[in-house]
Amino acid sequence: MSSIIEVRDLSKTYASGTSALKGVTLDIREGEILALLGPNGAGKTTFISILCGLVTPSGGQARVGGHDIQREYREARSLIGLVPQEIALEFFETVMNTVRFSRGLYGKAPDDAHLERVLRALALWDKRDAKLRELSGGMKRRVLIAKALSHGPRILFLDEPTAGVDVNLRREMWEVVRRLKAEGVTIILTTHYLEEAEEMADRVGIIDKGRLLLVRDKADLMHEFGQKVLTVELATPLAHLPEALASLGLSLAPDGLTVSYRYDSNADRSGIARLLAAFAAEGIAVRDLSTEQSSLEDVFLRLVRDLA
Amino acid sequence: MNWRSIATIFNFEMARFWRTPWESLAAPVVSTVLYFVVFGAAIGGRIQSVEDISYGAFIVPGLIILTVLQTSLANASNAIFMRKFVGTIHEILAAPISFLEVVAGFVGAAALKSVIIAIVIYLTALFFVDLPLAHPALALVLLVLTSFGFALWGFLMGIWAKDWQQLQFIPMMVITPLVFLGGAFYSASMLPPFWEGVAKLNPVLYLVSGFRWTFFGMADVPIAASVLALAIFLGLGFLAVWAIFRTGWRLRP
């Protein structure tokens, strides 16, 4: 896949002296969903804002669709749609007028048929004549997406699209993003919800303190850093773990009824067979077994701890 | 030039004006009538004429300039300040448009509103006084340039202002005094020589004087000086806006 966005050593130091971005290099592939994950203040919004033309970079280069974001800002920006984090709308305008305005601002000829498709896809068509201030929070957020899509961008930036959004709406939002990806739109979303990155992304980039710690295919990332936990439920409680079991790296829960074993799911030998044999040898009756894949959250916390 | 983007901003701003025609147009008409009652009837009764022009007619060009300055500044500064305040400025900044196009849209709309209001005031004045218009074409040119110039400075003010207080500060503390001391209601020649000299340092005097010349063919300063002052004023405003977009001051951190 070719790169639609190429970022080289991009940095930003604000006038206040805050160094928000410290030399980020990244290629974003056409048609992928890239999730930029990081805690608040990690530099995610600064990164997006530079690419969209809201913030001037202090150093480095970025090209969007092959166009330098500063020298060829017209070409670069016309490929981009931005859904900002904050809900900022002209509250006395109607839905239809505000999306028409966005399209016109990008210099595109009026095309109400396209706008109708966008509004229908976002379940806003029935509300097209409603004033923005009359809409619910979830609808306002969808209006922001409709505005960003009004000029038919090839790249969509979603800055914290589901911050402060309820569960249903979050699922709805994910559905919208999936449909856009199916249409070939490249999507870059920032989030501090790991669940979101795990659910949506093809690739995950982890940003912390202005640095891009890594970018990896989500599956590889989970695989590479993924650990599994085997939980063994015992038939009768144990006061303490026999020496033979403790030496295998097991830990006993305070209730004495569950034993857990952490292992690398990619290793040649998981050690489970040896473990179960040890249980039998000690004469401990096992009632149930379960395994659990570590979540991206665990991966993330480990990475931030190890790499920062 | 991206004409479609300019037209989009321009039409959006004008829509606000047409949506509330009563507030947009009635207010300047009412205040003009008030000026006629107070200055024209009450004071004008004592002054009678300034250089052979009835006082009531004499104050009309100044009155128009006064309103044009205030509405141009207010419209342009509010338009951009509100977007900063609400956050919708991001949309303008992220769009593939140049500073020239943004300015043309916002400042053009603010200036056109002022021109419309000026014409409404002129028509209102015709009900009260005999008003010659010696050089109508030049009057329109000066009116448009003045509206545009002050809309440009209003736009700058809106970018500069960080809160509502700052937004009110310049019109209250700078523009209103300059307008009142700029010969809108009197001729500088009516002042003692020293104060006449001081008055001629006031840039607004040149605008009022020049505009009055297009009506009556008489002025405090030569018409060429007025046109030059206006050109300098416009040029400085344009340079300042250009510099702001170039550096991103208070717009793009």
- Residue B220 contacts residue B187 (beta carbons within 8 Å): yes
- Residue A278 contacts residue A225 (beta carbons within 8 Å): no
Q: How far apart are CA B148 and CA B234, in angstroms?
A: 8
Task: Based on the fold, state whether residues A81 and A109 are members of the same structural domain.
Answer: yes
Task: Based on the fold, state whether residues A50 and A131 are members of the same structural domain.
Answer: yes
Residue A225: pLDDT band with limits 50, 70, 90 = low
Mutate to test the interface with B, among A91, A105, A147 (most CBs of B within 10 A): A105
Give the one of A73, A88, A91 whose C-beta lies nearest to B96's C-beta. A73
Q: Is residue A51 part of a domain?
A: yes
A101·B2 Cβ contact <8 A:
no
Q: Does residue A42 have a pLDDT over 90? A: no
Burial class (CB in 10 A: 0-12, 13-18, 19+), A272: middle
pLDDT, one tens digit per residue, over A19-34 is 999 999 999 999 999 9
Percent of chain A residues past pLDDT 90, beyond the cut: 46
A54·B93 Cβ contact <8 A:
yes
Per-residue DSSP letter, A133: G
Q: How far apart are CA A82 and CA B95, in angstroms?
A: 10
pLDDT, one tens digit per residue, over A255-299 is 888 888 887 766 677 778 888 888 888 888 888 888 877 666 676
B92 touches chain A (CB under 8 A): yes
Q: Is residue A91 part of a domain?
A: yes
Task: Based on the fold, state whether residues A214 and A251 are members of the same structural domain.
Answer: no
CA distance B159 to chain A (A): 15
Q: Is residue A307 part of a domain?
A: no
Q: Which residues contact A76 (CB under 8 A, 6 or more apart)?
A: A53, A63, A64, A65, A67, A68, A69, B96
Q: How far apart are CA B232 and CA B238, in angstroms?
A: 10
Total Cβ atoms within 10 A of residue B229: 18
Write out the residue range of the structural domain in which residue A219 sits.
3-223
Bridge-based pairing state of the strands A251-252 and A258-264:
antiparallel
CA distance A161 to chain B (A): 16
- Residue B1 contacts residue B101 (beta carbons within 8 Å): yes
- Interior/surface letters B138-148, b for 16+ CB within 10 angstroms, e for the rest: bbeebbbbbbb
Q: Is residue A305 part of a domain?
A: no
Q: Which one is predicted more confidently, B172 or A14?
A: A14
Task: Based on the fold, state whether residues A153 and A271 are members of the same structural domain.
Answer: no
- Determine the pLDDT at residue B244: 84
pLDDT, one tens digit per residue, over B127-150 is 888 888 889 999 999 999 999 999
- Determine the pLDDT at residue A106: 94
Paired residues of A12 in beta bridges? A21
Q: Is residue A308 part of a domain?
A: no
- Residue A95 contacts residue A128 (beta carbons within 8 Å): yes
Q: Is residue A301 part of a domain?
A: no
Averaged pLDDT for residues A221-241: 80
Residue B44: pLDDT band with limits 50, 70, 90 = low
Nearest CA in chain A to B86: A88
Total Cβ atoms within 10 A of residue A293: 12
Q: Which of A195, A223, A251 is the last residue of a domain?
A: A223
Residue A1: pLDDT band with limits 50, 70, 90 = low
Task: Based on the fold, state whether residues A241 and A266 are members of the same structural domain.
Answer: yes
- Residue A64 contacts residue A155 (beta carbons within 8 Å): yes
Nearest CA in chain A to B246: A56
Percent of chain B residues past pLDDT 90, beyond the cut: 32
Task: Based on the fold, state whether residues A23 and A110 are members of the same structural domain.
Answer: yes
Lowest mean pLDDT: which of A229-243, A294-308, B22-36?
A294-308
- Determine the pLDDT at residue B13: 92
ipTM of the modeled complex: 0.86
Q: How far apart are CA A177 and CA A148, in angstroms?
A: 13
Nearest CA in chain A to B2: A107
Task: Based on the fold, state whether residues A92 and A156 are members of the same structural domain.
Answer: yes
Q: Which one is predicted more confidently, A116 or B175?
A: A116
Chain B CB contacts of A108 below 8 Å: 4
Paired residues of A288 in beta bridges? A233
Chain A CB contacts of B87 below 8 Å: 84, 86, 88
CATH number, domain at A268? 3.30.70
- Determine the pLDDT at residue B169: 83
Q: Which of A167, A189, A223 is the last residue of a domain?
A: A223
CATH number, domain at A7? 3.40.50.300
Residue B54: pLDDT band with limits 50, 70, 90 = confident
Q: How far apart are CA A125 and CA A166, in angstroms?
A: 22
A104·B7 Cβ contact <8 A:
yes
Q: Is A175 helix (H, G, I), strand (E, B) or coil?
A: helix
CA distance B94 to chain A (A): 5
Task: Based on the fold, state whether residues A74 and A175 are members of the same structural domain.
Answer: yes
- Determine the pLDDT at residue B172: 80
Task: Based on the fold, state whether residues A202 and A216 are members of the same structural domain.
Answer: yes
Q: How far apart are CA A192 and CA A38, in angstroms?
A: 5
Q: Which residues contact A244 (CB under 8 A, 6 or more apart)?
A: A278, A281, A282
- Determine the pLDDT at residue A245: 80
- Determine the pLDDT at residue B175: 80
Residue B154: pLDDT band with limits 50, 70, 90 = very high
Q: Is residue A252 part of a domain?
A: yes
Apex CA B160: angle with CA B159 and CA B164, to 5°?
Answer: 90
Averaged pLDDT for residues B8-33: 85
Per-residue DSSP letter, A110: P
> How many domains, in total, are found in chain A?
2
pLDDT, one tens digit per residue, over B59-109 is 889 889 988 988 899 999 999 999 999 889 999 999 999 888 999 999 999
Q: Which of A223, A247, A275 is the last residue of a domain?
A: A223
pLDDT, one tens digit per residue, over B112-126 is 999 999 999 999 888
Q: Does residue B24 have a pLDDT over 70? A: yes
Burial class (CB in 10 A: 0-12, 13-18, 19+), A71: exposed
- Determine the pLDDT at residue A49: 94
Q: How far apart are CA B107 and CA B80, in angstroms?
A: 10
* Tokens describing residue B18: 């047409």
pLDDT, one tens digit per residue, over A240-261 is 888 878 887 788 888 888 888 8
User: With left for phi above 0 and alpha for psi between -120 and 50, is residue B51 left, alpha or beta?
Assistant: left
- Determine the pLDDT at residue A83: 93
- Determine the pLDDT at residue A50: 95
Q: Does residue A123 have a pLDDT over 90? A: no
Averaged pLDDT for residues B2-16: 92
DSSP string for residues in B42-109: IIHHHH-EETTEEHHHHHHHHHHHHHHHHHHHHHHHHHHHHHHHHSTHHHHHHSS--HHHHHHHHHHH
Task: Based on the fold, state whether residues A86 and A104 are members of the same structural domain.
Answer: yes
A84·B12 Cβ contact <8 A:
no
Q: How far apart are CA B128 and CA B112, in angstroms?
A: 25
Task: Based on the fold, state whether residues A55 and A168 are members of the same structural domain.
Answer: yes
Per-residue DSSP letter, B185: S
Interface of B with A in 2-31 (CB under 8 A): 2, 4-5, 7-9, 11-12
Q: Which one is predicted more confidently, B75 or A307?
A: B75
Task: Based on the fold, state whether residues A238 and A98 are members of the same structural domain.
Answer: no
